[in-house]
């Protein structure tokens, strides 16, 4: 069986973005600290569970991401699942705004020291890096979950290039 060639033209990239925008997902902010202890974070919808025993998940991050560099420095990261009122945090961490961590409350996590968004996340998972794989211009980071904090709330969703919530 021969794989079909993958087109890399602008139309195919645009069609792919359209395809993926039609697949709504939850919104998270992935955070870590670099070798100097400075916080880094980015909005991420590429989050997937891998296994329940031991609890493992994966995130996909651009190879040029400062957050990815911080994860590589520290060997750990936090996943902050945003609640339905967390749109401001999602937009902030998807921007290039300076001092993003100075614009909202956070605290370092107990296990890996990664920032936890105390007002915008309804659940957090602290992870230690178990493995990484590079694919094209992204790294797949596999993390073993070492701590979870969760409270009941409605999650923030992203699909069709806009935010929404999923109410119970």
> Over the stretch 102-143, which tens digit does the pLDDT of each residue have?
999 999 999 999 999 999 999 999 999 999 999 999 999 999
Contact 127, 144 (CB under 8 A): yes
The answer, yes or no, to whether residue 92 has pLDDT greater than 80, is: yes
> Over the stretch 16-51, which tens digit does the pLDDT of each residue have?
888 888 888 999 999 999 999 999 999 999 999 999
Tokens of 124: 């957090």
Spell out the domains of the chain, with CATH numbers in brackets. 24-165 (2.30.110.10)
pTM over 0.85: yes
């Amino acid at each position: 069986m021969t794989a079909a060639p993958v087109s890399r033209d602008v139309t195919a990239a645009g069609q792919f973005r359209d395809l993926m925008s039609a697949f709504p997902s939850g919104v998270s902010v992935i955070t870590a600290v670099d070798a100097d202890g400075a916080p880094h974070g980015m909005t991420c919808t590429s989050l997937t569970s891998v296994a329940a025993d031991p609890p493992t998940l994966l995130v996909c991050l651009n190879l040029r991401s400062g957050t990815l560099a911080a994860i590589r420095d520290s060997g750990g990261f936090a996943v902050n699942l945003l609640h339905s009122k967390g749109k401001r945090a999602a937009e902030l961490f998807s921007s290039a705004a300076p001092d993003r961590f100075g614009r909202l409350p956070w605290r370092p996590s107990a296990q890996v020291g990664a920032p936890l968004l105390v007002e915008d996340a309804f659940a957090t998972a602290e992870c230690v890096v178990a493995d990484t794989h590079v694919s094209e211009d992204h790294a797949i980071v596999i993390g073993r979950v070492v701590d979870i904090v969760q409270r009941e709330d409605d999650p923030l969703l992203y699909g069709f290039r806009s935010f929404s919530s999923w109410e119970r």
